[in-house]
Amino acid sequence: AGKYKCGDITYRTAVVHGKANEEVVLATVEWFLWADRSVTVTTTLLPPTYRWPDWHVRVHHIKAAGPLSRLFTAEGGFAINSRQQRNTRNLLEMADDDFDDTCELGQEEMIIIGANSLLILGESGASGISADVISSAPMSTKFSPLKPEANTNIMTQRSLIPMIESNIISLGQTDDVVIVTKVFAISSNAYLVRSGQARSLKQRWADQPSIRLMDTPDQTQISEDFISL
């Protein structure tokens, strides 16, 4: 099921806490999967920030009006070319050790699947997805590269989409499920314009946004940068 109906979009401000605090506008909407409104999803979209310019974040809060035996969810990042430049063969899945600080954007062609993330590297750049899950109901997640039908992307004939799938079991009326999806994307063309980057591609991928959903604690007691929603 996709979106059946949604409410009005609301806008508010979130604060990026770090060496230089930053405010960013969020968009939040409540939407429903089915006409009976048995499942409600509240989604908040966070655009890239100066602190994390390569990432945008989607926060999904899922609630059920009554008991559900099972609920599947699927969400993707940005499509990217799925073929190797030199021989047009499919990109290969590689070990995490093969992705190191010497890897350069637009030069590496591989798929890296981690425990809670997936990264696709190709000649056109990098596209990845990662997620943090908070759930009072039993659930599991899986990351995989989705292969759409050929010619469904106007930029490239053959593409892959980094995707996360969730399997939520026995979702009750009192259960809360929060999926914080972090989407990573860098174009190799845009990257060349922004030359002189001090951080490697791997460092930029590893430096994922830290999202805090509850009341902001005393900032003097926190050593890392974070975004409070």
Residues in the chain: 229
- Confidence bin at 56 (pLDDT 50/70/90): very high
pTM reported for the whole predicted model? 0.90
| Residue range 175-229, pLDDT digits in tens | 999 999 999 999 988 755 454 557 899 999 999 999 998 654 555 555 689 999 8
Residue with tokens 């008991």: 67
- Give residue 193's pLDDT: 46
pLDDT tens for 64-75 read 999 999 999 999
DSSP string, 22-59: EEEEEEEEEEESSTT--EEEEEEEE---SSSTTEEEEE
CA distance 175 to 65: 10
Q: What is the predicted pLDDT for the residue at 121?
A: 96
CA distances from 113 to 116, 164, 183 (A): 8, 11, 14
As a whole number of angstroms, the distance between CA 104 and CA 129 comes to 19
Write down the mean pLDDT value for the chain.
90
Residue 123 CA to residue 215 CA, distance in Å, equals: 42
Cα distance between residue 69 and residue 80, in whole Å: 35
